[in-house]
Structure 1
Amino acid sequence: MSIFDTAETASSSATLTVDLAALVANWRALGARAGTEASAVVKANAYGIGIEPAATALAAAGCTSFFVAHLSEGIRVRAVAPDATVYVLNGLLPGTCGSYAQHGLSPVLGSHEELLEWAAFRQTGANVRPAALHVDTAMNRLGLWKGEGLTLARERSGVISAADIGLVMSHFASSEDEADPANARQIEAFAEVTAALPGIPASLKNSSGHFLKGCPSYQLTRPGYALYGGNPTPGLPNPMQPVIGLTAPILQLREVEGGTQVGYNGRWTAKGRRKLATICLGYADGYPRNASGTGTSTGGSALVGGVLCPFVGTVSMDLIIVDVSDAPIAALQRGELVTLIGGRLDLETVGTSAKTIGYEILTSLGRRYARRYIGL
């Protein structure tokens, strides 16, 4: 049993199984594909699987650089990876320089104002790690405009030098779509930026960027979703190992006659005699309500005894009803586990059935799940 396991005695909750060996294998595979150092993006509680177990496993495997979204997440990584470089992607909020120094974290600076504040803090003699510089090449979300970045780069004795930039980065807007011409424009724009900042390591590749033709690896890549088993090549076979599995127990079984309405507001009506199972999982656990199955819309599914069985009625706060009429009798027992994520129900399939994306499925993984860590 892992020290991170959170199973409760006699719990009726769903169980999330996390394969940390698969996580490490995915990180190694991406680094090998890029031919350079791969960092690990562990924001959003390591995409839902848990920052501490993910960062601990990756650091033990040799990962030396991590990216998070918030300062609080960086502090959590620092606690389990004391020697790593930890970048905070969402930038430098006013007045937080001291916290970065205290915990040895590196802000990703994305504006002239942030650069000035960080440079001024460094000039006080504070002991801080080098920061990263984010130059926006298409997203229009965070980061310096490319032109502003190039102007500052030409003034190397100015604010960039004073801020002690240890990494320059940008972020793809559409790398999962190899046909999108925006990718080539971003690659070209970032090449201009890196040429203007010789000697500073650079980072551009995200998960899908590892599979994007013509994309330089530079000195550091930043995989996130693919580390956790998400498919970085939509429409093609997934090159990554699955990392998570989600199961939930059957709480009750019943048979209903044709014409019976099921769930809140009776949004699904049986067209004949059907066998139904109520399972211990709902939207309070992070499973999207949009996975509801109605008479006019197909929703999510569960694997019951290896058979794909559809959700019927509305996904409620704590429960989902599944039509198990076609499942093997041996699997239809109170307490028997059904699979919500795993096997044929990969992240992309689950995301599509819930009218969302695999990223949201991952990052919404509920705190009520009993968590079981395997593989390391």
Structure 2
Amino acid sequence: MNREIAVVAFAQTDHRRTSEELSEVELLMPVLHDVLARTGLRTADLDFVCSGSSDYLAGRAFSFTLALDGVGAWPPISESHVEMDGAWALYEAWTKLRTGDADTALVYAYGKSSPGSLRDVLTRQLDPYYVAPLWPDSIALAALQAQALIDAGDTDEPALAAVAARNRENAAANPHAQLRGPVPHGDHVVRPLRRGDCPPVGDGAAAVILAAGERARALTERPAWIRGIDHRVEAHGLGVRDLTDSPSTRIAAERAGVFERPVDTAELHAPFTSQEIVLRKALRLGDGVRVNPSGGALAAHPVMAAGLIRIGEAAARIHRGASDRALAHATSGPCLQQNLVVVLEGDPR
């Protein structure tokens, strides 16, 4: 069934280094109340609910079932979950609406990285036989990618510092960002990456509401229509990949229709400065495109929610008339291993 699907509302927390006084449910509930209030919907009006989170961050199995308390125990809901960033939960919800099985969907994601060592936790997503036993952490792997870019002549350390400065300068206007305005670039963490090249560790949550057709138009003045969405994955083995390129991003962009005509905004899920260099090339983004006006993942990076936030931020710009055709990107895995691309458009003005 060829149905028009739109993002009609977006909400997120104020992202913080730690929210140790809050449980996942307490972190999530204000966001869910906010996103529902923006549309006037109640839980009973939702046809489908899908979430994204990670049991590894929570430190217990099936932790997402506890977060469902934030949605409410009554009335019964049709619910699903992905052990991924919430952007992939949005993909599942979009598919559900496209089939005609639902007209409205709530998508949410959350992550509390503060209780443990995120660099160690993320090693669990690596190849369990050849890579994970070596314990290369997320920053070390990103540094390998950054060095490959420098060796190829695609960037240098001053250019990476400029990426960080621009993103955090953009974040100065974002009240939800964890890092806003000038931030010292700092010493090397793992060469060639300095502290400023890396994302902040923090806690946060986000939610969006999807709606189909005329239902979307009834819920918001200017829906952000999903004109294309696709996701692709690279090889699991880092040694067989060209870390200076992202074929999966490029293919996803082609399938989503990014290259059919120009976009005016791009929200890129690039946790490290070097990854923005890779994504800009794969997505063919010129100087006329506003990249990460929210500050991106370098300003706030709640793991499992940061990709969904990119979609929400792009949609919010369309809602308020700041953008007409926007691209949103989400990634998962080491060195941009898996990538999802969404094209959002507003109705002609």
Q: How does the TM-score come out when normalised to structure 1? A: 0.27
TM-score normalised by L of structure 2: 0.28
Which has the higher Rg, Structure 1 or Structure 2?
1
Q: Which has the higher helix share?
A: 2
